[in-house]
Amino acid sequence: MVVGDASLDIDTLVIGAGPGGYVAAIRAAQLGQKVLIVDKSEVGGVCLNRGCIPSKALIAAAHQYESAKHGEAFGVTAENVKVDFSKTQEFKNSVVKKLTGGVAGLLKGNKVEVFNGECMFISENEARCFNEHESPRYRFKHCIIATGSRPIELKTFPFGGRILSSTEALSLPEIPKSLVVIGGGYIGAELGQMFSKFGTKVTILEGLDTILNGFDPDMTKLVVKSMTKTGVEIITNAKAESAEQTDKEVTVKYSVGGETKEVTADYLLVTVGRRPNTDGDLGLDLVGIEMTDRGLVKVDHQGRTNKPNIFAIGDIVAGPALAHKASYEGKVAAEAISGHPSVVDYKVVPAVAFVDPECASVGYTEKEAKEKGYKAKAAKFPFAGNGRALSLNNADGFVKLIFDEETQLVLGCHIAGIEASNLIAELGLAIEMGATLEDIALTIHAHPTLGEIVMETAELALGNPIHVIAPRK
């Protein structure tokens, strides 16, 4: 493959094949670039292999199990409903295999060369790729770094044995009888609630005064209520201090209000955030890439670093560590390399927690909108006023629209309820296009659908709701 130690010439080197990297590689290839993508693991990155996709597959299975046990309202009952968790894991793995195989096919179909191994910069225009079989050198015109992130490991709670990161939790061979979760963010809340639906006794230790910090408080209340129904114990303002494990269990000591307590479980899951993968042997310091104190790469509005031909995207740059943000940035970087005037615009970056009920947000909160100088108001319509939600026997939740009272411009939306993750897309488009309340209210929504709740919320904000009584002025 390589004559001597000469460098092979390519247009664009992409380091990392996650949702940022593989999207960037495909877009760059579509624009006529000769592209090499490098990843030491499977294509698809953490998202497809050890994060977004496998977790949602297990969450879907947990919902299925819960529905099978509790169908009385529909007149559907079943006895001795059981979970064969090995088959559940087989289902999860099959979904992952289909998607990663699909990504591999897309890369091949777009003539993107794939190197399975690691990569290290030699200079601003050269890098060495290596695995146990070969170590070719490549000379590139441009590079997109998309190395992603990994779970933060606390010194007091090192991963191993019965102390798990989200990666190990998603691959457990059995449903644990009990589980302690440190961290009540979206990962801890999603996985904790998922296991509780399978019958696990779950305890969540959260250092702040609420789980799902950053989401609308009204949304969080609904999730806490739902979690409590399945027996999840949520302990807020708790500081986890230490853990002792045996071959069968782990005991966690924590303090609340100055009082030290402890809880014992089969496993401890630590979900306190993610760390950017910029501290390895990539050679960013050798090239002179500018970094922040948090280990993030400094980039401009196109994802370009201080080295004009090197870009960075996804979890290693500022902003939320979200797969869809990384994919978006990947396309912008690939287009910028090809001379397009593409720039990042974070006006609408939806955030979703796949808890029960689902929570999804986009745009401003009412407080944020006021801080930006808008005369902001909120309108809130309940799922209980929607025929489709009632027919699904799933009427907990609401749509809350944030708008400017003077211009009727839609500024934000917060949805808690079934299919919130899908409903939020309409509002992202509305905000991106500069839609007003009237634009949404006058758009005919199919009946009976959950989407009608968005229309009804806009009508409520305008003062002429049909399916709730308008508040007195």
Q: How far apart are CA 104 and CA 159, in angstroms?
A: 31
- Is residue 172 in a domain? yes
Tell me 202's DSSP state: E
pLDDT confidence tier of residue 163, bands split at 50, 70 and 90: very high
Q: Any binding-site annotation on 189?
A: yes
pLDDT of residue 473: 65
What angle do helix axes 186-197 and 52-69 make, rounded to 10 degrees? Answer: 30
What percent of the chain clears pLDDT 90, i.e. is strictly above it?
96
Q: Is 39 labeled as ligand-binding? A: no
370 and 422 share one domain? yes
Per-residue model confidence (pLDDT) at position 470: 81
Residues 200, 301 share a domain: no
1 occurs within a structural domain: no
Q: Are 447 and 250 in contact (CB under 8 A)?
A: no
The reply to whether 426 sits in an annotated binding site is: no
Q: Is 4 annotated as a binding residue?
A: no
Identify whether residues 22 and 100 lie together within a single domain: yes
Q: What is the pLDDT of residue 205?
A: 98
Which amino acids are annotated catalytic? 447
- On the question of pLDDT at 393 being above 70, the answer is yes
What is the structure's pLDDT at 247? 94
Q: In this structure, are 89 and 63 located in the same domain?
A: yes
CA–CA distance from 398 to each of 76, 104, 369, 381, 454 (Å)? Answer: 27, 40, 20, 5, 9
Claim to verify: residue 144 and residue 279 sit in the same structural domain: yes
Tell me the residue range of the domain where 192 lies: 163-272
| Mean pLDDT computed over 299-309 | 98
Question: Does residue 84 register a pLDDT over 70?
Answer: yes
Residue 160 assigned as binding residue: no
pLDDT band at 3 (very low <50, low <70, confident <90, very high): very low
Q: Do 91 and 206 fall into the same domain?
A: no
Alpha carbon distance 294, 319 (integer Å): 12
Indicate if the pLDDT at residue 5 is higher than 90: no
239 labelled binding-site residue = no
Q: Give 44's contacts (C-beta < 8 A, 6+ positions apart).
A: 17, 18, 19, 22, 53, 96, 99, 100, 103
- Is 351 among the domain residues? no
Which of 81-90, 429-438, 464-473 is the least confident region? 464-473
For 193-204, how does the pLDDT look when each residue is reduced to its tens digit (9 = 90+)?
999 999 999 999
Q: Report the number of distinct structural domains present in the chain.
A: 3
Which of 306, 337, 368 is a domain's end point?
A: 337
Q: Verify that 398 and 369 share a domain, yes or no.
A: yes
Could you tell me what percent of the chain has a pLDDT over 70? Answer: 99
**Parallel, antiparallel, or unpaired for β 126-130 and 137-145?**
antiparallel
Average confidence score pLDDT of the chain = 96
The pLDDT value given to residue 314: 98
- Decide if 137 is inside a domain: yes
Q: What is the pLDDT of residues 22-37, one digit of tens each?
A: 999 999 999 999 999 9
350 lies in some domain: no
Q: Is residue 187 part of an annotated ligand binding site? A: yes
Residue 310 pLDDT > 60: yes
Helix and strand element counts for the chain (H, E)? 14, 22
The verdict on 133 and 279 lying in the same domain is: yes
172: CATH: 3.50.50.60
Q: Based on the fold, state whether residues 326 and 200 are members of the same structural domain.
A: no
Are 284 and 221 part of one and the same domain?
no
| 253 annotated among ligand-binding-site residues | no
pLDDT for residue 415:
98
Residue 7 is predicted with a pLDDT of: 79
Are residues 324 and 254 both part of a single domain? no
pLDDT value of residue 471 = 80
Cα angle 257-262-264, degrees, rounded to a multiple of 5 = 150
CA–CA separation, 273 vs 59, rounded Å? 20
In the listed set 337, 365, 391, which residue is the last one of a domain according to the structure? 337
- pLDDT band with cut points at 50, 70 and 90 for residue 1: very low
Residues 14 and 145 in one domain: yes
For the beta carbon of residue 24, count every other beta carbon within 10 angstroms.
34
Residue 156's pLDDT is what? 95
Check whether 302 has a pLDDT greater than 80.
yes
147 annotated to bind ligand: yes
Assess if residue 467 is contained within a domain. Answer: no
CB contact at 8 A, 157 and 243: yes
User: Which of 249, 272, 295 is at the close of a domain?
Assistant: 272
Q: Is 273 annotated as a binding residue?
A: yes
Amino acid symbol at 398: F
363 known member of a binding site: no
Asked whether residue 305 is assigned to any structural domain, the reply reads yes
Residue 473 lies in a domain: no
